[in-house]
Structure 1
Amino acid sequence: MSHNSEPSKKWGTLEKQQWLSEQKIQRSYQDSVVAKIQQLNNDFDIHQYGTLEYQIGNYPLFAVHSKSRDKNKPNIMITGGVHGYETSGVQGAIRFLEKKALDYTEYFNFVVAPCISPWGYETINRWNPETDDPNRSFSLPSPAQEAANIMAYVESLDITFLAHLDLHETTDTDNSVFRPALAARDAITMDNWDIPDGFYLVGDTENPVPEFQKAIIQSVEKVTHIAPGDEKGEMIGDKVEQHGVINYQTRKLGLCAGFSGTQYSSTTEVYPDSPKVDDENCIQAQVAAVVGALDFLIKTDTV
């Protein structure tokens, strides 16, 4: 489908339906996500917190909790798959639960939502079926079912979270597929940026907690390379605040890491297209990020 014929006209219902008709299922949410989550039921409580309901089908949504919430322990939220195509975010959240979470249950209660956008996971998409970007939709009322479901669920828990790690990727397709689609949908001009080669973090401009971010970077550095800034000292158009860290206005932009209002938050960004990494290394980088964050919180007497 060519999106260049009417660059000055925003997409309407017809264009959005045409875009949706071109999307294809490429992998199974049930087989590679839900089945793994269900295997965790001996060590964790698994909750279905909602269902995405689309004309193309329904998708159950799952969160994984510590077995028994101790009111004396701080609560940690981990989210993955807000952008479904960002595979290591989903698999990294699951891998953390499989391999590391039980090492930290004496210190923390966990709520983990490994795959917030399962249709995006199956079709390898940034958007949902209605061409909304879930990670610009964490505001009320949310235009995206994916964001609305997890926000309503977290509110229903009625607990305060100390930290929120939101696990993402930045890929070459951000420039080749998703930014051009955004330009077409909104009838705007978008300049491509250099995709950073390596791992980086997005902190919160309003609450940057630089030592927390630094601890995460130092942990990840042990398993993969950290992205350098470009010749302007920027990454994806924003100033590098410290090695491997940029900051966004997470709440204002409707980003997932901002909705939970935590004292400590970070969005991880893995670069799976680097010649220096493979799928397994990307998953390990996500786990290392979570571990680095938790170790920092333990060492700084926040628990």
Structure 2
Amino acid sequence: MTTQASYPIGTAGVPWGDAEKAQWLAAQSIQRSYAIDVVSRIDALRERFDIAQYGELDYPEQKYPLFVIRSREFNDALPTVLITGGVHGYETSGVHGALLFAERDAAGYAGKVNLIIAPCVSPWGYERIHRWNRDAIDPNRSFRENSPAQESAALVNLVAPIRDSVLMHIDLHETTDTDESEFGPALAARDGKPFEPGEIPDGFYLVDDTESPEPEFQQAIIRAVEKVTHIAPADAKGEIIGSPVVSPGVIRYPFKPLGLCAGVTNARFTSTTEVYPDSPRATPEQCNEAQAAAACAAIDFALANRSAATRGQ
């Protein structure tokens, strides 16, 4: 076991205060461009989609516009599906997989679904290749009313009017080596807790909702993705990232109680993807392709199984 003392910020056993958060913030630097990498690709889709700004991160050093890609004409007779990426800004294929789907695959669903795609929920984190936002808050534990994270609050507000009518929501993520080398130790330090080392799974896996599981939906996604890249095996304990494997490549978390993005609507079909970009068996292109394949498979399954599709209706 390593402890908070091994992290360069803070005192072992003591949660961070403002001084420690300021020290952490001072160590963050821009490493890539949201405008160049993401916004330019969104802009290129304006002739094909309704592109709208749904919010703005208002940070002291910079403001970040938040964009959503939507079907040009919503049809109330069609189901609505939501694809989100970049909730954790450092998880690159979540962003670029969502954009790849919009650029290449979305046209195939015209007249079948109303599409809503938020490809980069956390642009501040994207530019700094970080899990947290500027306030050292994890957006993917903050999708709730009165959220402390601007990123999460903006998406909550975007989907609030359609929360009960979304058929499917897939949230695109990655699990990386830095989860163990940086973000896990930083989280333990921030919260004044000991760091418990874990094992990074080699391959793609999914997180289903503990409170409303859809095992066949998850397996349909797994079957599609395994044609693109390998599926993560269970570890010696039969687990992936500390959770029991319930079927090949699938674990479960309670989405809404944890404030996870995948619980931001009341969709029946929900999933969080996780790819492993640091695997020697996968390229960045494969990771992006895996995310796009997962989105396609998720929509296809949801469309084929629409009856009683939305919780609460």
Q: Structures share a fold, TM > 0.5?
A: yes
Q: Which runs of 5+ in 2 are unaligned?
A: 1-5
Map Cα deviations across residues 116-140 of structure 1 (whole Å, 9 max, x no partner): 0000000000000100000000112
Give the AA of the match of 1:71.
D
Return the TM-score normalized by structure 1: 0.97
What residue is the counterpart of 2:92 in the other structure?
87
Structure 1 residue 157 displacement after superposition: 5.1
2:218 is aligned with 1:213: yes
CA contact (8 A) 2:53 2:66 kept: yes
Per-residue deviation, residues 183-228 of structure 1 (Å, max 9, x unmatched)? 1111001212110000000010011100000000000011000000
Q: Distance in 1 between matches of 2:217 and 2:13?
A: 43
Say if 2:63 is the partner of 1:58.
yes
Q: In structure 1, how many angstroms separate the alpha carbons of the residues matched to 2:145 and 2:222?
A: 32
Q: Distance in 2 between the 1:286 and 1:128 partners?
A: 23
AA at the equivalent of 2:27: E
Say if 2:163 and 2:267, in contact at 8 Å, map to a contact too: no
- Aligned mates of 2:107, 2:169 — CA distance in 1: 18
Distance 1:5 1:14, change over 3 A: closer
Q: Does 1:25 align with 2:30?
A: yes
Partner Cα separation in structure 1 for residue 147 and residue 203 of structure 2: 32
CA offset at residue 261 of structure 1? 1.4
1:295 to partner: Cα distance: 1.7
CA shift, 1:147, in A, is: 0.1
Q: What residue in structure 1 maps to residue 268 of structure 2? A: 263
103-112 or 86-95: bigger deviation: 103-112
Q: Give 1:297 shift.
A: 2.1
Residue type of the partner of 1:261?
N
- Does 2:258 correspond to 1:253? yes
Q: Output the TM-score relative to the length of structure 2.
A: 0.94
CA distance in 1, matches of 2:275, 2:115: 22
Aligned equivalents of 1:74, 1:95: Cα separation in 2: 22
Tell me how far apart the structure 2 counterparts of residues 286 and 93 of structure 1 sit (CA, whole Å).
7
Separation in 2 of the partners of 1:27 and 1:195?
Answer: 25
Unpaired runs of 5+ residues, structure 1, are none
> What's the offset of the Cα at 1:231?
0.7
Q: Which of 40, 51, 56 is 1:46 aligned to?
A: 51
Whether the aligned pair in 1 keeps the contact of 2:9 and 2:20 (CA below 8 Å) is no
Query: Within 5 Å, which residues of 2 pair with 1:111-260?
Result: 111-156=116-161, 160-260=165-265
> Is 1:273 matched with 2:283?
no
Alignment of 1:8 onto 2:49: no
- Counterpart residue identity of residue 160, structure 1: S
In the alignment, the residues of structure 1 paired with residue 217 and residue 71 of structure 2 have an alpha-carbon distance, to the nearest angstrom, of 23
How much does 1:87 deviate?
0.3
Change (3 A) 1:162 1:8: same
> How many Å separate the matches in 1 of 2:249 and 2:292?
17
Moved more, 9-18 or 148-157: 148-157
